[in-house]
Chain A
Amino acid sequence: MNDFRSWIRRGFVAAVAVAGVSAQAAAEGTLNYATIGEPPSLDVQVGTASIASTISQHMFETLYAFDSSYEPQPLLAASEQVEDDGRTLVISLRTGVPFHNGQEMTAEDVVASLQRWAEHGSRGKLLFKEGAMVEATGSHEVTLTLPEPNGAWKNLLAFPNGGPVIYPASAVGAAGAEPLAVEQYIGTGPYKFNEWRPNRYVELVRFDDYAAVDAATDGYAGARVAELDALRFIPVADVGTRVAGLQAGDYDYAEFIPGDLFDSLDGDSNVVIHRNGAPIFGLVFFNSKAGILKENRQLRQAIQVALNKEEALRISIGPESLWDANGSFYPKSSVWYSDAGVSAFSEGNPEKAKQMAEEAGYDGTPIKLLVSTNYQFHYDQATVFTRQLAEAGINVQLIVVDWATLLKKRGEEGEWDMFFTHHGTVPDPVLITVLNDSYPGWWTTAESQEIKAALTGTADVEARRVAWADLQQLIYEQVPAIKTGDVYSYHIASPDLKNIGDSTVIWPHFWGVSK
């Protein structure tokens, strides 16, 4: 069925290309962005959905922002002073920065936002461990006091996904654990919230009083100038419609186009392809709390040895420019890149795996692999892996469910031995879910805890890089999870969009863009 649909899609797109479509003018000054689906809450302090980050980064800002080489630069912060070996962080804020409701941002708002993030934010506990606190030490100065130095502090303050965006104190006061109500979508960004029509669109409009930082635009950092009147994010679930709608001029930008359309779109002059600069990668987590893989490290290694990831990537993704059989958790261009342990990434050796499984005492008991069909490449790769493991005599039982069921079941330790998910590129390894003690998989071995402490316990960049390389090495030895390889998503844009540049670093952004 999928083959059939993809065949039809391909024919359809090729037909559009041949027809030589002329784009018709859309509403002046509004960018229409066709999304893959409806976003959940745009309160990115508590939510980690990519689509929510894509939209809300235009409204909400963080104290720091990443430049194009992933170095955090001041955004709402003006400068900082690190004292007491990194246990005390004094951050001065920029003055004269208005919120969308007209009030000026002060230390009070920053403290309220950080406290709420510390307590209820998805990633707040990574910085605000037990005993950490934040207080206002001036009208535009906040001081963070940490029980231990945290080398990742600036990266954590700069990462907006599940991160510490700054809201007015009045907005966070009532919210607590619950995502902010839409009336409370008030930030300092170049665009402000206008309207959310369920199933129709989310619309942001230009914030005329935006106070841009006095620096050149660079990645997510620097000045963010809103050139367009409005941004409209429209859910268009069918990829054929996203493509045809863009070619018809109804959309200016359409996200997440599948690999099988890449070649036909690549030659189409009515379409500009934007390949994401930052890959996502599949991750298969192993259950460290219960079941057959719990303490059987050798069986985990046998599974790792059996897998040929290149084959799985070729089958599931397609065009070679859209994937990379890279075993490092970071692409080569990143400061965090390391080849420690990666020789074990894709051995694809069934005989060796069979022998290792036997030595591990494996008796053919089915190994439950939980996978969802909502993400096609998860299912496709899981199917390839199941066959490869069968060749090594390892019996995998695929449990195919929808995404909502998988998210629930993976929290129940007795329900699975492995589960399939994916991960985005994150600017600091502490944000990788494999390192998170409470993330399903629950990798908390003594060795891992020790290196994790070394990774966060110092601000020295070189020492942190060494610690991360050690951790990556350990991941390939203890196999808490298996990385399945880098996948580069791509999006398509109308040729009329100007200055879109490298805006697809992680989440496409549209400040500086005009049409």
Chain B
Amino acid sequence: MGRYLMQRLGAAVTTMAAASVIIFFFIHLIPGDPLYVLLGDGSTPEQAEALRAKMGLDRPIYVQYVTWLTNVLAGDFGQSIFFQAPVLEVIADGAETSILLASITAVWVILLGVPIGMVSAVRHGSWLDQGLSGTAMLLASIPTFWVGLYLILVFAAWLGWLPSSGYPSIFEDGGLANLRHLLLPSIALAAPNAALILRLTRASMLDVAREDFVRTARAKGLPGWRIVVHHIFRNAVLTVISAFGFTFAALISEAVVTETVFALPGIGRLVVQSILRRDFPVIQGVILITVALYLVINLLVDLTYRWLDARVELE
């Protein structure tokens, strides 16, 4: 186990190093100038050049890379050009929203996707299955921004039960009650993802149900629920978990549309806006941290495999 973790760690460091090169140079390949975005349309070229020199953005690109990497290794991700604040502070603020949103969404996804998928698989071919699968397909196909806007309409504008947008940190006034700001966005974001997990649970359970050992279990006269839970679901769950791992990572980095509709200060919107503003230090920071996050989640998924299925070898 120790050796396995060391191997994984080595691979992770290599991946991160490669990612840092790719991120840095690719971002600087995009045309566009952060200083004009900062100074606005009416600014003069002399003004932009003076500022460029002051910020060190006029140095050769490889010099900038080495400086950046050295600082990152020392835990300093630099200053945001646009916000004039430390990159880590900007990211940390967005991370709270994103991680909480992804977690609440993940709870919805599991609570809805897995049990309904199981019911659908057990009753496959029935009206119930067709109704549930059909609903899932519908949810998967409706654009998130549309679901989001209508949730705002009904629950915020119409009924006035929940706030329409924004998210004040749980560390501020309001405390945990602020989580109600994330209820509507998490539902909007969960809809397509729960549908995906539902379909996947159903499909992999149906696959497993055709295996010989399931037939043997039935022939032995085991109770139906026991076969479903212990034989079929236990074997089908591996596929669902690996899909869920990636879904969770994606929920953090790709929730751009939901964050935009609900005006949430999350990572997804931060990175898209930063790309539009060419705020290089923020883009680099977010992507590097996201790569690290994917690596960690991937590792956790692999470890979970081992825990769930003794046949999986971690070597």
Known: A237-B263, A409-B31. A179 touches B36 (CB 8 A): no
A47 touches B43 (CB 8 A): yes
Interface positions, chain A 161-203, Cβ under 8 Å from B, are: 161-162, 176-179, 181-182, 196-200
Q: How far is the CA of A24 from the CA of B36 in the complex (A)?
A: 40
Taking each of A24, A49, A161, which has the highest tally of chain B beta carbons within 10 Å of its own beta carbon?
Answer: A49
- Whether B186 is near chain A, meaning CB under 8 Å from some CB there, is no
Across the two chains, which residue of chain A brings its CB closest to B51? A177
Interface pair B277/A248, CB less than 8 Å apart: no
Interface string of B143-174 (1 = CB under 8 A from A): 00110011011001110100111111000000
Question: CA–CA, A241 to B55, complex, Å?
Answer: 36
Contact at B152–A47, with CB atoms within 8 Å?
A: no
Q: How far is the CB of B255 from chain A (nearest CB, A)?
A: 13
Q: Are B84 and A181 in contact (CB-based, < 8 A)?
A: yes
A438 to B50: give the CA distance in the assembly, Å.
15
Task: Give residues 54-106 of B contacting A (CB, 8 Å).
Answer: 54-55, 80, 82-85, 89-90, 93-94
CB contacts (< 8 Å) of A245 on chain B: these are 152, 156, 164-165, 263
State which residues 226-281 of A face B: CB under 8 Å.
234-238, 240-241, 244-245, 247-250
B40, A47: Cβ atoms under 8 Å? Answer: yes
The answer to whether A122 and B276 have CB atoms under 8 Å apart is no
Bound Cα distance A49, B36 (Å) = 10
CA distance A433 to B260 in the complex (A): 33
A38 within 8 Å of B by Cβ? yes
Supposing A48-B43, A122-B43 touch, asked if A248 and B84 sit within 8 A by C-beta, the answer is no
Binds A, one of B112-120, B222-230, B265-273: B265-273
Q: Judge whether B45 and A411 touch: CB under 8 Å.
A: yes
Is A408 at the interface (CB under 8 A from chain B)?
yes
Interface check B125, CB cutoff 8 A: no
A52 proximity list for chain B (CB < 8 A): 40
Q: Does B216 reach chain A (CB closer than 8 Å)?
A: no
As a 0/1 sequence over residues 1 to 32 of chain A, the CB contacts with chain B under 8 angstroms (1 = contact) are: 00000001100100110010110100000000
Q: Which residue of B lies closest to A235 (CB)?
A: B263
Interface assignment of B132: CB less than 8 Å from any CB of chain A:
no
**B206 at interface by CB-CB < 8 Å:** no
Across the interface, name the chain B residue whose C-beta is closest to A180.
B84
CB <8 Å contact, A182 and B84: yes
Contact B160 A46 (CB under 8 A): no
- Count of A-B contacts judged by CB separation below 8 Å: 187
Question: Does A408 lie within 8 Å of B36, measured CB to CB?
Answer: yes
A232 and chain B: residue at smallest CB distance: B166
The interface-forming segment of A339-347, A388-396, A398-406 is A398-406
Please, how many angstroms separate the alpha-carbon atoms of A15 and B37 in the complex? 37
Chain B residue contacts of A178, Cβ below 8 A: 51, 54-55
Inter-chain contact B84/A41, CB cutoff 8 Å: yes
Question: Nearest residue in A to B168 (C-beta to C-beta)?
Answer: A200
Residue-by-residue, is B166-187 near A (CB-CB < 8 Å gives 1, otherwise 0)? 1110000000000000000000
Least CB distance, B207 to chain A, in whole angstroms: 38
Interface size class of B (residues with CB under 8 A): 35 or more
Do A37 and B273 touch (CB < 8 A)? yes
> Given that A234-B166, A235-B263, A438-B45 are contacting pairs, would A46 and B39 also be in contact in the complex, using a CB cutoff of 8 Å?
yes
Chain B residues within an 8 Å CB radius of A237:
260, 263, 269
Residue ID in chain B nearest A374 by CB atoms: B276
Q: A179–B84 contact, CB under 8 A? A: yes
Q: How far is the CB of B27 from chain A (nearest CB, A)?
A: 12
Chain A 86-125 residues near chain B, CB threshold 8 A: 120-123, 125
- Chain A residues with Cβ below 8 Å from B261 are 238, 240-241
Q: When A19-B157, A199-B94 are in contact, do A405 and B31 touch as well, CB less than 8 Å? A: yes
- New A-B contacts (6) at CB < 8 Å, excluding given A197-B265, A198-B270, A247-B157: A40-B37, A177-B51, A182-B85, A199-B90, A199-B269, A245-B263
A-B contact pairs, 27 of them (CB 8 A): A24-B160, A38-B273, A120-B50, A121-B47, A122-B40, A125-B44, A162-B42, A177-B54, A178-B54, A181-B84, A198-B265, A199-B93, A199-B266, A200-B167, A200-B168, A238-B260, A240-B149, A241-B149, A241-B152, A241-B164, A244-B149, A244-B156, A402-B32, A411-B33, A433-B41, A438-B45, A438-B46
